[in-house]
Structure 1
Amino acid sequence: MKQIRTTANLDTTVRIPGSKSITHRYLIMASLAEGRSQLGNTLWCDDTRYTAKALESLGAQIIHSPEAAEVTGTGGKLDHPSKPIFLDNAGTSMRLLTAVACLAQGDCVLTGSDRMHRRPIAELLAGLRPLGGVVESLEKNGCPPVHIHGNGLKGGRTLVDASRSSQFVSAILLAAPYASNPVEIGVEGLVSRPYVDVTLDGMSRFGAVAGWLDEETLRVEAPGQYRPGNYDVEGDCSSASYFWAAAAITGGKITTLNIVRNSQQGDLAFLELLSQMGCRVEWHDHGVTVLGGRLRGIEVDMRDMPDMVPTLAVTAAFAEGTTVIGNVGHLRIKESDRLQAVAEGLQRLDVQVDEGQDSLTIRGGSPVGALIDPHNDHRIAMSFAVAGLVTRGVRIADETCVDKSFPEFWDRFEELYESK
């Protein structure tokens, strides 16, 4: 259990680690490229380690140091692993690697934790089959474990229902340059579109030709390949958001380094929400500063920014008026039922909250201290830790769950108590 200490007069600078989403994608593309790539500012957390270990099982060679990786790729010629690949509850790893494993010659099984075995992947499997993917849910329930009979992808056109996860689209995109023919993807009901744009941006950097034909269709030129080289991973906006929220609710000033203003990461837009709530945002050459102000509630569609919902919800607990967070039903299939976990956490803080099927309505007030159960969900733990900077008595159970995406979170959090 982690006891959070209150603080005041925040005025500090925090360096943000590399993006988890981009690290996953760069590791995959470097592993498919032919030759050696140097990746800088990589994030090594539980999830990205699962991706790296899986790629090694498929034939890539990966040597990593604390914030870098040297990857010797396979040229798209993947081995089939000798045993099932365990991915715990790393949803990004499971989805992206399901498509990548189609390029291997032979059978591959991807499995994970009990929670992973309840997280849907049927839409991705359905999207791979018209392209030549031989894939199935072993339990016949549309969830992992997944069996892939690798024999490459023939290419062609497919349709993907992306109403529950944009990663179904990103997975196919990442594997598509190694298909025998060009790939077109019709996309229905896309949530979290910025993550698809992050994928496309990375593919372009690695030399692939891919993009939107129109608002609902993507095309990848194939056969092709990724280009090895030196690539740096930008800072993680999701990880930065906890420190932006800390400035907001304490009325302090926090500068986050390693954040790029022209980033494709959708969570960068959280800064605009904080501006609407009453904060001031100032950009610099190497990062961005948030200065807290008198907060007011807002109404916002978070379809494209679902990972920011816990952070916004905690911030809203300290705002005047009501905040309505809508269009986020897909949060129910994250590491936890994240809508329910956020609502439960706010109720424990004695904050008025109404949980809808795909929404939260939060009435700001004066939260009280409580023990927060993050339900093994890293984003719940980190978001509610921020509340403890103002409210005495906030404790976070199972605090090590942050290792999933931000192993150094508590060290960085301690820096807040060392303000200038």
Structure 2
Amino acid sequence: MPTPHWTAPVAHAPVGATVPLPGSKSMTNRALILAALAETPARIAGPLRSRDTELMAGALRALGVAIEEDSGGWQVRPDELRGSARVDVGLAGTVMRFLPPVAALASGEVSVDGDPRARERPMGPIITALRALGAGIDDGGRGTLPFTVRGAGSVNGGQVVIDASGSSQFVSGLLLAAPRFEKGVEVRHEGPPVPSAPHLAMTVRMMREAGVAVETEEDLWRAAPGPIRAAEWVIEPDLSNAAQFLGAALVTGGRVTVPGWPVETTQPGDALRGLLGAMGAQVSHGPDGLTVRGPGGFSGLDADLHDVGELTPVLAALAALADSPSRLTGIAHLRGHETDRLAALVTEISGLGGDVRELPDGLEIRPRPLHGGVFRTYDDHRMVMAAALLGLAVPGIEVENPGTVGKTLPNFTESWASMLAPA
């Protein structure tokens, strides 16, 4: 059941807050896959507990992997993967793209389905690739969910060519399971550029940390067969989920600090340093974390967001409140995300009086005075975050189904209220 509308609170003064963030969804779900396929038990410290990660844990449990809670994380005990299972991927791209290669290693059939919108999200490249590598999949010829993976206990593996321009997750999903395939996997991409390069770098780095031999060239990734050794994963804070909090410093002319911001990371959210700086923020990184200060007015942004598309909704909201126009490009692939994010942002910001035009690969935003109204979220967590940011400066924004933000950031509205509370 959708939750009632949430009235996005208005900021009546500059914010001055330190906002701790839960763990990275992207790192948590990659760690779960690697731990489930490892030789020995592993621990995941500081994982994100949200709908997307619970769906991943639930899917792996359905395949026979033991995942148990402890005081600060999860204990994962791998076991022989079993079939005769039903898996719900919800609307989680990481689950729908990472889980099928694992299911192909199970002994028996695994039925995979998700939310209604999940049946519209691109899946064809990974289905076709798995068939080419020796896995059996019955999708009724649709190339989308739902489908059944006919696991045979092993997968031959080898070389495969795919078009991963719709999502880097197609490559990551194949790589993460590749060490358990008899010949490993060599993935070659042919097509327009693969989006979200930092997420691919994250996959490669985490696999190498688990002892897997991974080689990369331009548009080619090769993972050798062999053991996965995962002892403990320490999950970084989710930097993409920092976007709206750091953006609040710009909107209000205040200060927000996110503690625990890593000095070096593969997370796409680290690009916020440069992107917010380009809009006029004062950005500093030190022992206390990453701090953003707003100068009391900020400019628009002209940026190619191809590698960091997940930041688009919040950056679009900021752009609608800026002092000059913005042009956000390189993000045509967002039409296949939790919703068609480009169309959704045009519709909802325009519905509040904004001037947003959809481009072939992005958005053009011209700031105009905005007014209150209902902001629909399309079951997309990042639309809730964008709406909250707009609400800081625009009274009367009613956010539809704010509970959908639990996909990656449970308790978001409470954290938002806490950030706005007087010191």
Q: TM-score, normalised on structure 1? A: 0.95
Q: Secondary structure at the match of 2:266?
A: coil
Whole-angstrom distance in 1 between the partners of 2:15 and 2:419: 7
Q: Report the CA distance between 1:183 and its aligned residue.
A: 2.0
Whole-angstrom distance in 2 between the partners of 1:117 and 1:261: 38
| Among candidates 325, 346, 349, match of residue 349 of structure 2 | 346
Whole-angstrom distance in 1 between the partners of 2:212 and 2:240: 26
| CA deviation map 1:382-405 (0-9, x unaligned) | 111111112211221111111111
Which residue of 1 is the match for residue 213 of structure 2? 209
Q: Report the CA distance between 1:227 and its aligned residue.
A: 1.0
| CA deviation map 1:212-241 (0-9, x unaligned) | 1x211111111x121131211001011111
Whole-angstrom distance in 1 between the partners of 2:255 and 2:113: 44
> Does the Cα contact within 8 Å between 2:242 and 2:269 map onto a contact in 1?
no
Which residue of 2 is the match for residue 193 of structure 1? 197
Alignment of 1:13-52 (within 5 A): 13-52=18-57
| Among candidates 311, 322, 325, match of residue 325 of structure 2 | 322
Which residue of 2 is the match for residue 362 of structure 1? 365
**2:235 is equivalent to residue 227 of structure 1:** no
Matched length: 414
Which residue of 1 is the match for residue 99 of structure 2? 97
> Does the Cα contact within 8 Å between 1:236 and 1:259 map onto a contact in 2?
no
Residue 203 of structure 2 aligns with an amino acid whose one-letter code is T
Q: Report the CA distance between 1:244 and its aligned residue.
A: 1.1
Whole-angstrom distance in 1 between the partners of 2:234 and 2:170: 25
Which residue of 2 is the match for residue 141 of structure 1? 142
| CA deviation map 1:37-82 (0-9, x unaligned) | 11111001111111101101111101125751111112xx3111x3
CA gap 1:136/1:327 in 2 versus in 1, 3 angstroms: farther
| Among candidates 47, 69, 81, match of residue 78 of structure 1 | 81
Q: Report the CA distance between 1:270 and its aligned residue.
A: 2.2
Specify every segment of 5 or more residues in structure 1 that has no aligned partner in the other structure, as ranges: none
| Among candidates 397, 400, 403, match of residue 403 of structure 2 | 400
Which residue of 1 is the match for residue 164 of structure 2? 162
Q: Report the CA distance between 1:297 and its aligned residue.
A: 1.5
Q: TM-score, normalised on structure 2? A: 0.95
Whole-angstrom distance in 2 between the partners of 1:251 and 1:205: 41
Residue 272 of structure 1 aligns with an amino acid whose one-letter code is G
Whole-angstrom distance in 2 between the partners of 1:190 and 1:33: 28
Q: Secondary structure at the match of 1:406?
A: coil
Whole-angstrom distance in 1 between the partners of 2:288 and 2:178: 34
Which residue of 1 is the match for residue 417 of structure 2? 414
Whole-angstrom distance in 2 between the partners of 1:2 and 1:371: 10
Whole-angstrom distance in 2 between the partners of 1:10 and 1:67: 30
Whole-angstrom distance in 1 between the partners of 2:345 and 2:198: 23
Q: Report the CA distance between 1:366 and its aligned residue.
A: 2.7
Whole-angstrom distance in 2 between the partners of 1:419 and 1:41: 29
CA gap 1:67/1:376 in 2 versus in 1, 3 angstroms: farther
| CA deviation map 1:131-184 (0-9, x unaligned) | 22222323x221111221112221221112111010000000000011112321
Which residue of 2 is the match for residue 10 of structure 1? 15
Residue 142 of structure 1 aligns with an amino acid whose one-letter code is G
Residue 101 of structure 2 aligns with an amino acid whose one-letter code is A
Q: Secondary structure at the match of 1:103?
A: coil
> Does the Cα contact within 8 Å between 1:62 and 1:69 map onto a contact in 2?
yes
Q: Report the CA distance between 1:323 and its aligned residue.
A: 0.4
| Among candidates 372, 376, 387, match of residue 375 of structure 2 | 372
Which residue of 1 is the match for residue 74 of structure 2? 69
Residue 210 of structure 1 aligns with an amino acid whose one-letter code is V
Q: Report the CA distance between 1:298 and its aligned residue.
A: 2.1
Whole-angstrom distance in 1 between the partners of 2:72 and 2:267: 20
Which residue of 2 is the match for residue 332 of structure 1? 335
| Among candidates 231, 245, 254, match of residue 243 of structure 1 | 245
Q: Percent identity?
A: 33
Residue 280 of structure 1 aligns with an amino acid whose one-letter code is Q
> Does the Cα contact within 8 Å between 2:63 and 2:85 map onto a contact in 1?
no
Whole-angstrom distance in 2 between the partners of 1:337 and 1:96: 21
> Does the Cα contact within 8 Å between 2:327 and 2:364 map onto a contact in 1?
yes
> Does the Cα contact within 8 Å between 2:62 and 2:86 map onto a contact in 1?
no
Whole-angstrom distance in 2 between the partners of 1:131 and 1:79: 20
Whole-angstrom distance in 1 between the partners of 2:302 and 2:291: 24
Q: Report the CA distance between 1:278 and its aligned residue.
A: 0.5
Q: Report the CA distance between 1:286 and its aligned residue.
A: 4.5
Which residue of 1 is the match for residue 304 of structure 2? 301
Give every structure 1 segment of 4 or more consecutive aligned residues whose post-TM-superposition deviation is greater than 4 Å: none
Whole-angstrom distance in 2 between the partners of 1:39 and 1:22: 10
Q: Secondary structure at the match of 2:339?
A: coil
| CA deviation map 1:349-388 (0-9, x unaligned) | 2111111232110012332222211111111011111111
